[in-house]
Chain A
């Protein structure tokens, strides 16, 4: 982003008036953010160092919650599962969204219709998605396994009913749900690439693949970075999709960090410990985003 030009003294009154106007515009939103998000987040950092159990007082316990986490096998399982989800969900969604965007960026008959269709999963109720996909995945009666059986797969996977296949099933649905949203961001990015660049490349005899690698991808660099950051954060804090699809099961096979936080906090009333786990999740999201920004900055220069 370009920096604003430095203001001259005679403009100062105008600037202060603009500042007041600006603040008054964001105030309604900011008040809501401060009361409902910022304040709880600040309190969270205190609660994480206590043994607060919702009723009564919170005793200061220092780093006890974090030491407990170190020895807590379920925490590590949840962390492993979260990474498992992210490692597959991020590249798959990125590739699918970019592919869809390229496909729907042409002048086709009915392209608007297909763009809308691709966006539909994102605006569909997550509970409805979970119910329908669970039925599709049903190991004995579901159409997916019927299809696999028809093409000669003898021992089709148990999907959400099997500890081995539940995570892949959730990743598939997660990718399907979010690719439409990121496709929209990529479509917007594609509009910013000047058509002359493609024409010049074509005149120079570049093949479609070469045009993609040397014109489209560099032109989309900012969009790709933005999408990757959003996707990473979204993947690490995945919660609702897994909660309604598998509830973390079978066993702990799809238990992710945010669900573990919910379980410890709202089901077992260990709000101190749940807050400590949230801080770890926050640190992971924050750390990875910072690394992404640093890598991006180095590439830009």
Chain B
């Protein structure tokens, strides 16, 4: 019996694969024949990037139609995509929102080798994570990085000197506290800073900036100073506590856009959101700017140095179940999406493409409402971006565990040391040993 069941399942699987394979066949490939490829996206009505890519590609490849298939936003995207891939109903081309689940897709055999599309894309750092054994399994089309958004009006109101690119985390903490006092004195209820409930807001910076920090080592000591500063800001009232943000479901868009907080650490995708919300009235109109993320120490501060920050590339991969007649079109689409033309088109709607060139920066800063100061341009264009998620079998497990640690520390239950040593023990006994 024990042997019979796997045999039946394997036979059924084999049969399904054979039947599915029939559809592909060996049809002749005519480069000009009309082809429709499907592309996964999310929140299509409020996320214009997929349509921008589809339309832009159509302009140079009139015979190819890119049809969008809507998926759930947020973390549900991956759950839904994994289910559809396993069931064989996923679209031809799909997005990897970050690197957390790239291992799952790649090691599960759900990505076609697309090495031939990466020629001519240079050797940007965003390409590297998608390479396994010298082959590329996806191409990046977006590369956001985390920066400091700040409200110039609130800085002026609190009479605090705005960021100049020289800030370490201690300078940031100090400024948040002085803003808190200054704003209170000026009769404003706004807080100095807002730290959203994402684990990235602490752990992403700590991992990227601390020398020799390694998520996969299971040694999380590098997180300690970053958490101590967050707790310090919470205790001082300079930012809403984690508990308040969670229980009241505070959104970073309203917190910064409605001038409830003077500073916000967030990814560059927020530029497009803020611009749209100013138009729709969901955000106030005020003077704002972008500064480089605060740094670990003085060695990477100042506009003559290169600040270190983090961010995962967003990539496109091809479903191996795609029919052969469509593979060439899908590869051409990947090449377009990762290339300079798509980059300019994406920058035109406020999205940061994988390769930031002078043309891209000019296109983004040409948008109505984007700050024009030099520091904002510097912060947007110049930085070393390290991935938030190293590509490994253990990444998803470790990140889930650290997400629990994040809420445990910020709700201030047993202290940073106790929670971090608990996290390390769990990493060793529950994730890294699997």
Q: Which residues of A contact B (CB under 8 A)?
A: 46, 53-58, 60, 68, 71-74, 131, 134-135, 137-142, 158-164, 248-253, 255, 263, 266-269
Contacts and interface: CB of A to CB of B under 8 A. Distances in A.
Name, among B82, B247, B413, B425, the residue most crowded by chain A CB atoms within 10 Å (CB to CB). Answer: B247
B13 interface: yes
A161 B82 contact: no
Interface in B1-42: 2, 5-6, 9-10, 13
Given A162-B243, A268-B397, A74 B430 contact: yes
B243 A248 contact: no
Interface in B216-266: 241-244, 246-249
A73 B430 contact: yes
19 contacts: A53-B108, A55-B86, A73-B430, A134-B246, A134-B249, A135-B248, A161-B244, A161-B246, A162-B243, A162-B411, A248-B404, A250-B413, A251-B405, A251-B411, A255-B404, A267-B79, A268-B397, A268-B400, A269-B104
A162 B413 contact: yes
Given A139-B244, A251-B413, 19 more contacts: A55-B86, A55-B108, A60-B6, A68-B434, A72-B429, A73-B425, A73-B426, A138-B243, A139-B247, A158-B243, A158-B411, A160-B243, A162-B411, A163-B408, A248-B404, A250-B408, A263-B400, A268-B400, A269-B104
Contacts of A269: 82, 104, 396
Contacts of B248: 134-135, 138, 141
Please give me the 5 A-B residue pairs with the lowest Cβ-Cβ distance, nearest first. Answer: A161-B243, A251-B408, A55-B108, A250-B411, A163-B413
Residue of A55, A71, A142, A266 with most partner-chain B CB within 10 A: A55
B403 to A, nearest CB: 9
Given A74-B426, A268-B397, A54 B249 contact: no
Contact of A72 (B241, B247, B430): B430
A64 B407 CA distance: 31
Given A249-B407, A251-B411, A60 B244 contact: no
Contacts of A60: 2, 6
B419 A251 contact: yes
Among B2, B75, B243, B411, chain A packs the most CB atoms within 10 A around the CB of: B411
A251 B396 CA distance: 17
Nearest to B419: A251
B428 to A, nearest CB: 11
A58 B5 CA distance: 11
Interface in B317-335: none
B168 interface: no
A139 B411 CA distance: 11
Contacts of A55: 82, 85-86, 104, 108-110
Contacts of B246: 134, 160-161
Contacts, number: 110
A16 B414 CA distance: 68
B220 to A, nearest CB: 14
Q: Is the interface of A mostly helix, strand, loop or mixed?
A: loop
A74 B433 CA distance: 14
Contacts of B396: 267-269
Nearest to A139: B243
Nearest to A140: B244
A158 B243 CA distance: 8
Contacts of B13: 57
A243 to B, nearest CB: 12
Nearest to A162: B411
B311 to A, nearest CB: 22
Nearest to A163: B413
A54 B243 contact: no
Contact of B244 (A46, A54, A141): A141
B411 A161 contact: yes
Contacts of B434: 68
Contacts of A158: 243, 411
B429 A252 contact: no
Contact of A161 (B2, B108, B241, B425): B241
Nearest to B413: A163
Nearest to A46: B5
Nearest to B76: A266
* Interface hub of A71, A131, A134, A163 (most chain B Cβ within 10 A): A163
Contacts of B5: 46
A263 B10 CA distance: 27
B101 to A, nearest CB: 8
A255 to B, nearest CB: 8
B8 to A, nearest CB: 10
Nearest to B108: A55
Given A131-B249, A161-B243, A251-B413, A56 B109 contact: yes
Contact of A267 (B2, B400, B419): B400
A219 B130 CA distance: 69
Contacts of B6: 58, 60
Contacts of B407: 249-251
B86 A138 contact: no
A161 B244 CA distance: 8
A223 B244 CA distance: 42
Contacts of B413: 162-164, 250-251, 253
B4 to A, nearest CB: 11
A248 B75 CA distance: 16
